[in-house]
Amino acid sequence: MSTYPQRVADNILPLSQAETLPEAFGEWYFTGITEDHEQAIEECELCNQEQLRYHFKIKNKNTHKHLWIGSQCIIKFKVAVFEDDRLLDEKETKKKLNSLIKKMRFTSCMNALRQLAQKENHNILDNALDFYQKNKYLTPKLSFVIFWRLKSHGIDHSPSFFKVSLKRDKYKNDLREMEPHRVHLIWPALTSSQRKLALSMGHSAPP
Ligand SMILES: [Zn+2]
C-alpha cells in the first residue's frame, strides 16, 4: 500500500508541469466551483480520502487539468484561492471555504423544502419555503412541522443544516412549551448553546 505523500504525488504530478512537490502545487488554484453530492460518498482525487460530501474543483494553470478534492486538502496543500483576483491568505481561505459549505447546506435545505411544498399542497409549507429563503432560519414551531413532514415523506435532508432561531422571546416561549417528542425532533438543528437553553427549560436530549 502506498503512503499518503506518495498517493498525493502520484495523483498530482502527472497532471502538473513541475516534476516534484511542493513546486507542482504552485501551478494549481481553486476554480470557485463546488459540488454537493448530497451524501458523503465521494473521494478526494488528491489524497484519496473517502466519504466526502462536498467537492471543490481545482485546476492547473499550465496543463488546464483539474481535480475534484476536499476542502481540507485546499488548506493543507495551500492551493491558491482567489477572491476577485486577489490571493487569499490562510485565514481568508478557511473563511471562504466555510461560507461555500454554508451556501451548499442552505441550498440543500431549500431543495428539501421545495420537494416538500410540491408533495403537500399546504399553505404552511409554501410559507415555510418563503420564510426560510428570506430569513435563513426556521422558528421552533415551524421546524417541528418541517422535520415531521420531511420525515414522513422520506425526503432526504440533514436536520443539522437547518438553522432555528431563538432570538425572539416568542420563539423561546414556544420552545419552552413544546412537547418533549417535538423538541427531540428539532434537537439536531439546535446549536450547542440552544441545546443548553432547552435543557435549562427542563427539556431533555433525545434518548
Ligand atoms: Zn484530500
Same domain assignment for residues 84 and 116: no
Q: Cα(59) to centroid of ligand 1, in Å?
A: 15
Q: Cα(155) to centroid of ligand 1, in Å?
A: 30
Residue 4: per-residue pLDDT: 86
Q: Is residue 101 situated within a structural domain?
A: no
Residue 95: per-residue pLDDT: 97
Give the domain-ending residue among 21, 56, 88. Answer: 88
| Residue-wise pLDDT tens digits, 122-132 | 888 889 899 99
Residue 66: per-residue pLDDT: 98
Give the rounded distance of the alpha carbon of 185 from its chain centre.
Answer: 20
Q: Cα(24) to centroid of ligand 1, in Å?
A: 16
Q: Cα(102) to centroid of ligand 1, in Å?
A: 19
Residues of the chain below pLDDT 70: 1
Residue 61: per-residue pLDDT: 97
Q: Cα(58) to centroid of ligand 1, in Å?
A: 12
Q: Is residue 53 situated within a structural domain?
A: yes
Residue with cell string 425532533: 185
Q: Three-state SS for 6?
A: helix
Q: Cα(50) to centroid of ligand 1, in Å?
A: 8
Q: Cα(93) to centroid of ligand 1, in Å?
A: 16
> With b meaning 16 or more CB within 10 Å and e meaning fewer, what string describes 71-80?
bebbeebebb
Mean pLDDT for the chain overall: 95
How many domains is the chain built from? Answer: 2
Q: Three-state SS for 84?
A: coil
Give the rounded distance of the alpha carbon of 172 from its chain centre.
Answer: 26
Say if CB 46 and CB 69 are below 8 A apart. Answer: yes
Residue 175: per-residue pLDDT: 98
Residue 149: per-residue pLDDT: 94
Q: Cα(73) to centroid of ligand 1, in Å?
A: 5
**Which domain does 190 fall in, by range?**
112-200
Q: Cα(20) to centroid of ligand 1, in Å?
A: 18
Residue 1: per-residue pLDDT: 60
Same domain assignment for residues 117 and 78: no
Residue 98: per-residue pLDDT: 96
Same domain assignment for residues 117 and 192: yes
Say if CB 55 and CB 32 are below 8 A apart. Answer: no
Q: Cα(46) to centroid of ligand 1, in Å?
A: 5
Same domain assignment for residues 118 and 55: no
